[in-house]
Chain A
């Protein structure tokens, strides 16, 4: 029998390994960038990038800051925390960046790459080897839901990046006691508090961990000082948000009590009897765990759980590091509590309601799962190849079957809003005019976005005097009114529907989400503006 042999010098192998290891983070970063751009292009080309109704609203909010009848920072509003919109400002002026969604997606894409690298570094801090670190990154970057969300103008990736960064620095502080890491953690957590309210819970949880750690290692007095140091920066975002609401809306709690707040939305659902998780802890847990499983494709969640258990029972790991690693579970606690107390709504088809809504919240634990799996792979060396193969096996099927629950949510669930028809009508009939359109962006931001018209063509709640005058005498300002007839939740209908001027309009078209009213031609000359 002839045997063919060839050999490589061990030194060559070792040196190649060393070079790779030295530049591994850079290589991972480059690959993440390529994946990120590819995914964005894919979802942009098939139109899914702006399928989420919320994505279009986020883009519009950013745009209104720099363009519209009353541009300015006040347009950041109180509905959502402002960081994503703020970060869009440098790019949203460009129409392509606005309408392709890239302005917001760019933030998500950078967050994606950053978060992937953070997972790598987090595992490095836990003493995990190359294979474990890379597996952690793969778990994160090969998840279709993450790839989709990083291609949209949504807040999830920005939140994941800031939270993971905050947790990462907190872990290093637990490990080394270096206060610079605590300050860095505070900055990242502050940024997360300006992204989503999940960050507020992280702030609370991190504060608890810091107290426990310092009290245990030093004294109450030191804990007091450490806490002041931490909170000075970490709680700044929260304080600023209260201040913002006070200055702009004359009520520091406006984001909680205001008509467009999440609470107002949830109260409506609760009154309609469609908020089943409120007051039901078991259902809240079940719904969130289902969302988590669907977002992570189940198998990684199971492996992540095993990894977490092994981590927490590993005698070689310092107790304070184990304690710090529980910060990775903060999103789990937050989401279940938020559902239980009725501050959040999440529908998983077949579990609560017959539709999807906000199911993307289940993605919040993915970086944590990736870290726990990376740790597991490192610990179970004999199973390493098997586990990685099985992960790749399920990932392969998730990709070929296009299994992304977030896309279902965006396309078919309650998070979608297909306003194509009405937007097309506006494009065809209104684009070449200079007239104003009266519309409530709280209800119809998706129409504003999809119409492709400049923001300055719309009179909405955020346009100050334009809005105040137009709701009294619409026929003096707006040639068109877009609203849901007989729906009191539509602010335009509520305020304009009974005004005398409204009788001068005629309904010219009805669409699934709104009707279009046009001022009768005989009144066009009365329009206070010079538009006709």
Chain B
């Protein structure tokens, strides 16, 4: 039985090929290399792949760097980036951390050569998503999960959580997750200078990708410091040891930081001016930038009231925690319970890991804790218009690892199989719809005003994604290019859903077939034992 322990490479190849196929089929986009005027049309914006200002803002910087060779936005690009547009010293600048916009540059260039610059750009995120699946599998195995359950964990993360949607659009979350997973893997697997140097660079890079990552990766900083500085309690002495060479590895953190300073200097003419702290332009009145409906005359009148630059406390506020927890976990518009209930099985894995006194558990748990607390304190736990709790994507990845541990530990309890399958299939169903349709789901709190303004009912849950499919629409590049000629968007959805479920159920069948075999063998042995007065100890030994 070659497939039972998944040792054969062909199975891994098949696994990743199916994952790649699903990602390709889901990747959002439309063909073409748009000019800046074209970008401002609804084809690219509302009805297209760059539907929200969060992905537009990042794409705008990539576009401006490559097409205009400028850190500052032209008027057309500025209009395209609103309402998340920065304004500094009379110039339009990016309001987002620059790391992501730079990382996707190869994708843009290759895409442009193939006549689909935006698709190429988005594909970079899909590659990171795939790498995350690989790392989740590796980490799961490192932490004691079996290979099949580790593979399942990868599928849970990629297709049964909102991570799916953010694998096919231009957001920073998959890259943040990649940095966390890769750094963790490197730190637990290797102990040498170059690995540590790479980890420090990754940790520095995480800040350039998304500023709150500075908090999120803090447990990894501690883990990395532990490699440099160790405490050894001996019989008579407590020995503190400092590895001098390892200290030098810290210097690599300067590479991404230098990049960030260089970007800041070029964009804002100040090394230490962070992107999110500049004045925000929310729109244009003809060609005049406006903020919150006031015409902007000078920058001092121009600061959005909810952005008190430089003051950490105005971004993260403990009073928001209660509502934040509700939004992230229970709310119909973003809550885990509604969007990805399967991920909660990861809590079972945490308990298993706790009982096993797993050394890495406190670090992984603290990343989850920081991730949840940070974004529950954030003034906008909804993540603006979004699909599910996008900020929790790193948490989904870690909980997926714990799911593999949980499933491995209790693989003999057959009752777990239907529970897992129900939760998993529901989560995949919801998240597949999210991936191939839209992220433009308003938070519940905005709906009443929207309904007043639009004079129509506004939906704020994944029901909006299903409605989108019912209108025979999908934002999938392949669907729009080819698929729509052959099938409805619902059918396209079911093709994807079936692919994901087939792969997952296939893996479970392989796992449980092994279990069933053992169970049936035991039953047979017992039957033999009762019916035949034979000494069957040799059989028992074999199957136990």
- Contact partners of A393 in chain B: CB under 8 A: 215, 370, 373
Minimum C-beta distance from A397 to chain B (A): 5
Q: Say whether, besides A2-B245, A382-B361, A294 and B240 are in contact (CB < 8 Å).
A: no
Question: Given the complex of chains A and B, what is the CA–CA distance between A382 and B325 in angstroms?
Answer: 24
Q: Say whether, besides A7-B237, A401-B313, A390 and B377 are in contact (CB < 8 Å).
A: no
- Contact partners of A5 in chain B: CB under 8 A: 239-242
Q: Is A382 a contact of B313 with CB atoms below 8 Å?
A: no
Interface string of B316-345 (1 = CB under 8 A from A): 111101100100000000000000000000
B-side residues, CB < 8 A to A, are 215, 219, 233-246, 312-314, 316-319, 321-322, 325, 354, 357, 361-362, 365-366, 369-370, 373, 377
Q: Is A403 a contact of B318 with CB atoms below 8 Å?
A: yes
**Cβ of A138 under 8 Å from chain B:** no
- Contact partners of A2 in chain B: CB under 8 A: 244-245
Q: Is B243 a contact of A293 with CB atoms below 8 Å?
A: no
Q: Say whether, besides A382-B357, A383-B362, A386-B365, A394 and B321 are in contact (CB < 8 Å).
A: yes
For chain A, residues 1 to 40, give those with C-beta under 8 angstroms from any C-beta of chain B. Answer: 1-11, 13
Q: Is B318 a contact of A297 with CB atoms below 8 Å?
A: yes
Minimum C-beta distance from A361 to chain B (A): 17
Question: Given the complex of chains A and B, what is the CA–CA distance between A9 and B238 in angstroms?
Answer: 6
- Contact partners of B365 in chain A: CB under 8 A: 383, 386
Which of A380, A401, A403, A405 has the most C-beta atoms of chain B within 10 angstroms of its own C-beta? A401
Minimum C-beta distance from A113 to chain B (A): 25
Q: Is B322 a contact of A3 with CB atoms below 8 Å?
A: no
Question: Given the complex of chains A and B, what is the CA–CA distance between A1 and B237 in angstroms?
Answer: 23
Q: Is A9 a contact of B236 with CB atoms below 8 Å?
A: yes
Question: Given the complex of chains A and B, what is the CA–CA distance between A380 and B383 in angstroms?
Answer: 33
A to B CB contacts below 8 Å, 26 in the list: A1-B246, A2-B245, A3-B244, A6-B239, A6-B240, A7-B240, A10-B234, A10-B235, A297-B321, A298-B322, A380-B354, A382-B357, A382-B361, A383-B354, A383-B365, A386-B366, A390-B369, A394-B321, A394-B377, A397-B312, A397-B313, A397-B377, A401-B314, A401-B316, A401-B319, A403-B313
Q: Say whether, besides A294-B322, A401-B316, A386 and B362 are in contact (CB < 8 Å).
A: yes
- Contact partners of B317 in chain A: CB under 8 A: 397, 401, 403
Question: Given the complex of chains A and B, what is the CA–CA distance between A8 and B231 in angstroms?
Answer: 11
Interface string of A372-413 (1 = CB under 8 A from B): 000000001011011001100110011011110100000000
Q: Is A400 a contact of B312 with CB atoms below 8 Å?
A: yes
Which of B246, B321, B354 has the most C-beta atoms of chain A within 10 angstroms of its own C-beta? B321
**Cβ of A299 under 8 Å from chain B:** yes
Question: Given the complex of chains A and B, what is the CA–CA distance between A394 and B324 in angstroms?
Answer: 13
Which of B219, B317, B318, B319 has the most C-beta atoms of chain A within 10 angstroms of its own C-beta? B318
Q: Is B322 a contact of A290 with CB atoms below 8 Å?
A: yes
Q: Is B238 a contact of A4 with CB atoms below 8 Å?
A: no
Q: Which of A10, A298, A398, A401 interacts with B233 by CB under 8 Å?
A: A10
- Contact partners of A394 in chain B: CB under 8 A: 318, 321, 373, 377
Q: Is A4 a contact of B242 with CB atoms below 8 Å?
A: yes
Question: Given the complex of chains A and B, what is the CA–CA distance between A5 and B244 in angstroms?
Answer: 10
- For B319, the closest partner residue in chain A by CB is A403
Question: Given the complex of chains A and B, what is the CA–CA distance between A1 and B247 in angstroms?
Answer: 11
Question: Given the complex of chains A and B, what is the CA–CA distance between A119 and B377 in angstroms?
Answer: 28
- Contact partners of A405 in chain B: CB under 8 A: 319
Question: Given the complex of chains A and B, what is the CA–CA distance between A11 and B362 in angstroms?
Answer: 29
- Contact partners of A13 in chain B: CB under 8 A: 238
- Contact partners of B237 in chain A: CB under 8 A: 7-10
Q: Is B313 a contact of A400 with CB atoms below 8 Å?
A: yes
Q: Is B313 a contact of A299 with CB atoms below 8 Å?
A: no
A-B contacts besides A1-B245, A299-B321, 6 pairs, CB < 8 Å: A1-B246, A7-B240, A9-B238, A298-B318, A299-B318, A386-B362
- Contact partners of A297 in chain B: CB under 8 A: 318-319, 321
Q: Which of A7, A298, A400 interacts with B238 by CB under 8 Å?
A: A7
For chain A, residues 479 to 517, give those with C-beta under 8 angstroms from any C-beta of chain B. Answer: none
Question: Given the complex of chains A and B, what is the CA–CA distance between A4 and B236 in angstroms?
Answer: 19
For chain A, residues 241 to 268, give those with C-beta under 8 angstroms from any C-beta of chain B. Answer: none
Q: Is B243 a contact of A402 with CB atoms below 8 Å?
A: no
- Contact partners of A386 in chain B: CB under 8 A: 219, 362, 365-366, 369
Question: Given the complex of chains A and B, what is the CA–CA distance between A290 and B326 in angstroms?
Answer: 13
Minimum C-beta distance from B309 to chain A (A): 15
- For B238, the closest partner residue in chain A by CB is A8
Question: Given the complex of chains A and B, what is the CA–CA distance between A11 and B238 in angstroms?
Answer: 9
Question: Given the complex of chains A and B, what is the CA–CA distance between A394 and B239 in angstroms?
Answer: 33
Q: Say whether, besides A7-B237, A13-B238, A382-B361, A397 and B316 are in contact (CB < 8 Å).
A: yes
Question: Given the complex of chains A and B, what is the CA–CA distance between A386 and B313 in angstroms?
Answer: 22
Q: Is B242 a contact of A3 with CB atoms below 8 Å?
A: yes
Q: Is A10 a contact of B238 with CB atoms below 8 Å?
A: yes
Question: Given the complex of chains A and B, what is the CA–CA distance between A405 and B313 in angstroms?
Answer: 15
Minimum C-beta distance from A17 to chain B (A): 11
Q: Is B369 a contact of A7 with CB atoms below 8 Å?
A: no
Q: Say whether, besides A5-B242, A7-B237, A397 and B318 are in contact (CB < 8 Å).
A: yes
- Contact partners of A290 in chain B: CB under 8 A: 322
Minimum C-beta distance from A310 to chain B (A): 13
Minimum C-beta distance from A403 to chain B (A): 5
- Contact partners of B242 in chain A: CB under 8 A: 3-5
Q: Is B243 a contact of A3 with CB atoms below 8 Å?
A: yes
- Contact partners of B215 in chain A: CB under 8 A: 393
Q: Say whether, besides A10-B235, A386-B369, A294 and B244 are in contact (CB < 8 Å).
A: no
Question: Given the complex of chains A and B, what is the CA–CA distance between A481 and B325 in angstroms?
Answer: 53
Question: Given the complex of chains A and B, what is the CA–CA distance between A380 and B354 in angstroms?
Answer: 9
Q: Is B233 a contact of A390 with CB atoms below 8 Å?
A: no
- Contact partners of B325 in chain A: CB under 8 A: 298, 302
- Contact partners of B319 in chain A: CB under 8 A: 294, 297, 401, 403, 405
Question: Given the complex of chains A and B, what is the CA–CA distance between A290 and B240 in angstroms?
Answer: 47
Question: Given the complex of chains A and B, what is the CA–CA distance between A398 and B316 in angstroms?
Answer: 9
Question: Given the complex of chains A and B, what is the CA–CA distance between A6 and B238 in angstroms?
Answer: 8
- For A403, the closest partner residue in chain B by CB is B318
- Contact partners of B243 in chain A: CB under 8 A: 1, 3
Question: Given the complex of chains A and B, what is the CA–CA distance between A386 and B366 in angstroms?
Answer: 6
- For A401, the closest partner residue in chain B by CB is B313
Question: Given the complex of chains A and B, what is the CA–CA distance between A5 and B325 in angstroms?
Answer: 45
Minimum C-beta distance from A379 to chain B (A): 11
- For A399, the closest partner residue in chain B by CB is B313
Minimum C-beta distance from B526 to chain A (A): 36
- For B317, the closest partner residue in chain A by CB is A401
- Contact partners of A293 in chain B: CB under 8 A: 321-322
- Contact partners of B235 in chain A: CB under 8 A: 10
Question: Given the complex of chains A and B, what is the CA–CA distance between A8 and B234 in angstroms?
Answer: 10
- Contact partners of B234 in chain A: CB under 8 A: 7, 10
For chain A, residues 282 to 299, give those with C-beta under 8 angstroms from any C-beta of chain B. Answer: 290, 293-294, 297-299
